[in-house]
Amino acid sequence: MREISSDLIESAIYKLAEQACCELCEDAYAALKNLKGIKGNQNAEFAVDCLIKNADIAKKERIAVCQDTGMAVVFLELGQDVHISGKNLNNAINDGIYKSYKDNSFRMSVLDPISRVNTNTNTPAIIHTEIVKGENIKITFMPKGFGSENMTKLFMLSPAEGLTVALEKIVDAVKYAGSSPCPPVVVGVGFGGTAETAILLSKKALFRKIESNNADPVLDKLEKDLLKKINKLNIGPQGFKGTTALAVFIEKFPTHIAAFPVGVSIQCNCVRKAEIVL
């Protein structure tokens, strides 16, 4: 049994929040710099150039790369042989987020859904915890902006509708989103489980690296086919036509014989995430 202090977790979350809010992921930054399908389109080229310059300034000056520093989404892989000493795990995470957002002057965007009164802490975070083997804690942090989060879709399809309809729904979801999620986007897809499982899988899929291949050859082919279909929509960077998506990632989970749940989560061009293993 390994003991990990809640202070260490809180400090790690503080640093992850700062890093994620100020820096595009390296793979996303490279994808923007190498973006194809916009050559000769002055508006799209200008938009992408602005996105790259903005990312450079944010990283250098340590300021938010996007004014929407999002709702904090945290995925934990908690080793079963870990004992956490000190404060409650979720409290440590929320305290780290609040302190980082306060010290870095990131926008506090979290409020009560009914009264619309701001919590003024950008917490509570959305925390997903998975128990795994070992004596480490893997923490993955994503500041999820709601220009893209509002475009999330859930389709509870029948088995008879099958994969063909599912793929059509995914493409339609991106088409419906249009320029609202600030393309070029990353599309996460979740197949199976229950309704909440499909959405959770689609969110988890967004943590994959751009240009990475799916270990499942069937899903890998579906990802590549979907990417081609989505880019034929010709929405383009910021809606100026051209390449619409940088990547499509799919996760799956067994489901019930009477259902085919499909979740779709969209990430904007500002792909921000950071992780650490304690």
CA dist 157 and 180 (Å) reads: 25
Report residue 113 CA to chain centroid gap: 22
pLDDT of residue 163: 96
Sequence-distant (≥ 6) Cβ neighbours of residue 109 within 8 angstroms? 68, 69, 70, 71, 122, 146
pLDDT of residue 38: 86
Report residue 71 CA to chain centroid gap: 11
Using the structure block, give the residue that is written with the tokens 């579906």: 222
Q: Which residues of the chain have pLDDT under 50?
A: none
pLDDT of residue 236: 94
Classify domain 2-22+65-144 by CATH number. 3.30.360
pLDDT of residue 40: 86
Cβ atoms of 18 and 55 within 8 Å: the answer is: no
- DSSP H helices in the chain: 6-22, 26-33, 42-61, 89-103, 146-149, 162-177, 195-205, 217-231
pLDDT of residue 36: 77
Residue extents of the structural domains in the chain = 2-22+65-144, 147-271
pLDDT of residue 193: 98
The number of beta carbons lying within 10 Å of the beta carbon of residue 57 is 11
pLDDT of residue 37: 78
pLDDT, one tens digit per residue, over 124-146 is 999 999 999 999 999 999 999 99
Q: What are the tokens at 112? A: 């009560």
Q: What is the DSSP string of 216-244?
A: SHHHHHHHHHHHHHHHTT---GGGSSS--
pLDDT of residue 39: 82
Q: What are the tokens at 276? A: 């650490």
pLDDT, one tens digit per residue, over 158-193 is 999 999 999 999 999 999 999 999 999 999 999 999
